[in-house]
Amino acid sequence: MSTRGKVKLGLIGVGGMGSSHLKYLSQMENVEVTAICDVVKEKADKAAALYHSQAYYNHTELFEKSGIEAVLIAVPHYDHTPISIAAFNKGIHVLCEKPIAVHVNDAKKTIAAYELAKELQPNLMFGIMFQERTYPLHRKIKDILDGGELGKLIRATWINTKWFRSQLYFDSGEWRATWAGEGGGILTNQCPHNLDLYQWLFGMPARINGFAHIGKYHDIEVEDEVTAYFEHENGMVGHFIVTTAETPGSNRMEIVGEYGKLIFEDEKIVFYRTRESMLRFIKESQSRMGNVENWYTEIPVHVNASSGHKVVTDKFIEAILNGGGELVAHGPEGINGLTIANAILLSSFNDQTIKLPIDADEYEKKLEELIRSSKYEKTVNKDAAMDISYSKG
């Protein structure tokens, strides 16, 4: 626990997201950004000078010399695992950008290192940057489902194609949209938030069928269009449709239960509430085709409530200062959405239904094979600026 009411924090990765984090971190009264780290010396030096901090050029030196209590990790995906593990080994609190890892085996290694470190430091915090859980509309959907308003859930369909990316976006970094550099496409980069929200709202599927199209619209070697079908143990089915190639895109979620239908679209939630259980009506109705009477209701939502990255970080810092507490998303929860992503791709690669838990070794071997056999030649436009406006996709 910090003795001065401020947590000494280091940031690793001064790219688009790291720079965005620094803007609000510098305004937080209970945080002191004492160290900024990036493997590109010029980036680290420039950010450190701007925020009156100390520059470091590798995470090992940062953890050994800076005296930080906590770290925010905002680096390319594969590096999340070794950096998180190194931090836990030093007893440093970790807030990691999504995803927790590229594949399930690496996520397991990260979680194991955290659990081991907690044996020596029970109040060690591990958070993951799932800021979309804080968005008022998402929280309202969660509240309605947790309250049982829909009864038994029947179907959840999420079409989220508001992820349009041009070729210039993918050409903006050497690591982007490659198996070796990023570990995947839309499922690994844009959709960890969506997959986390899916499991947060509905729980984990039991069986997954995935259809992932590789470089269908862009000159990339990873997936840019995905359709997936989920089956849950309770009988609910799910559909997940995403792409980086549609404009204008859609963001529409339909949730159907025995007591009606919830539709989330255009920043609005509509509840078509039925007067009785649809499941009971099916069995008892004297009409061959008549529908259950239902009422249209627009659900009021306090859309101006605080949300976003800073809310996640606030909770993380408060938990450190208080010696424990609830986070927006605890780090180990990150394995759930990642499991779904890996299962979708494995299903597509193997053309078969994947039963959870996934065979993590099989997926890791497939990923290694894709990296080893890759003949993709990456075009890089170093003048392309990183645009993080997608954060609320």
Average pLDDT of the segment spanning 76-86: 97
Query: Is 80 exceeded by the pLDDT of residue 392?
Result: no
Question: Residue 383 pLDDT more than 70?
Answer: no
Rounded to whole angstroms, how far apart are CA atoms 371 and 385? 27
List, as one string, the DSSP characters of 30-41: TEEEEEEE-SSH
Cα–Cα nearest to 134, from 388, 311, 331, 334:
311
- From 148, 153, 144, 158, select the one nearest 278 (Cα to Cα): 153
Contact 39, 21 (CB under 8 A): no
pLDDT of residue 393: 40
Residue 170, pLDDT above cutoff 90: yes
Q: What's the pLDDT tens digit per position in 192-236?
A: 999 999 999 999 999 999 999 999 999 999 999 999 999 999 999
Is the model's pLDDT at 386 over the cut of 60?
Answer: no
> Rounded to whole angstroms, how far apart are CA atoms 251 and 243?
11
Beta strands in the chain (DSSP E): 7-12, 31-37, 54-56, 70-73, 93-96, 126-128, 153-160, 207-214, 223-231, 237-243, 251-257, 260-265, 268-274, 294-298, 354-355
Q: How many Å apart are CA 248 and CA 186, to the nearest integer?
A: 17
Residue 172's pLDDT band, with cuts at 50, 70 and 90, is confident
pLDDT of residue 283: 94
Share of the chain above pLDDT 90, in %: 91
- Say what the pTM is: 0.94
Q: Where are the alpha helices (DSSP H) in 101-152?
A: 104-120, 136-146
Give the neighbor-by-neighbor strand order of the sheet with 260-265.
294-298, 268-274, 260-265, 251-257, 153-160, 237-243, 223-231, 207-214, 354-355
What is the C-alpha separation between 46 and 384, in angstroms, rounded? 19
**pLDDT category of residue 263 using cuts at 50, 70 and 90:** very high
Tell me the pLDDT tens digit for each residue of 281-334.
Answer: 999 988 888 889 999 999 999 999 999 999 999 999 999 999 999 999 999 999
